[in-house]
Amino acid sequence: HFNKATGKKISLANPPSKNYPGDGAFTLVNGIQNTAGLAKSAEFLGFLGTDLDATIDLGTAEDISRIKLHVLDQNGSWIYLPKEVTVTYIPDKDYTADEFATFPSETVKIDPEKDKGLKIISIEKKQNCRYLHIVAKNFGTIPSGNPGAGNAAWLFVDEIEIN
């Protein structure tokens, strides 16, 4: 599934767990969408108790209208949707993390009950940018009454699409 992110340079602020490293950061922009869930876990990056914090360099400024984040929601296996996803649109210029607040961004909050079973988180906003900074906040501690209660939740991310 080719899109504007396919094969682009990507970096992660937090490495994935050694248990679910996929093919490193490139797993998120390799164009392969996992439709088999945990049966094909090598196509996921797993983050135990930490956030996905990725920056994609498109190479040149591009018009963007939609970002899709492919995730897994399988609470019985301690895998939860993120609490929220924030995309920051960074122009074609050198920047520092201190400047992030000055760039346009969009946040989608996830409701664990209403959005249960969600596989694609979509953020629609028209922007022109070269870099996209994407943060998916880990669910946190698994609530009581659920498998794995009291432990850190897993966040599994499969692919980032940019159109």
3-31: pLDDT as tens digits: 999 999 999 999 999 999 999 999 999 98
Q: What is the pLDDT of residues 102-117, one digit of tens each?
A: 999 999 999 988 888 8
The pLDDT of 83-112, averaged and rounded, is: 91
Do 29 and 56 meet the contact criterion of CB atoms below 8 Å apart? yes
Neighbours of 95 (CB within 10 A): 16
Question: What local confidence, expressed as pLDDT, does residue 6 receive?
Answer: 97
Buried b (16+ CB within 10 A) or exposed e, 107-142: ebebeeeeeeebbebebeeebebbbbbbbbbbbeeb
Q: What is the pLDDT of residues 31-50, one digit of tens each?
A: 887 776 665 667 889 999 99
pTM of the model: 0.93
Which amino acid type is present at position 127? Q
Strand, helix or coil at 29?
helix
Neighbours of 74 (CB within 10 A): 14
Residues 6+ apart with CB under 8 A from 23: 30, 42
Band (63; pLDDT cuts 50, 70, 90): very high
Q: What is the pLDDT of residues 72-83, one digit of tens each?
A: 999 999 999 999
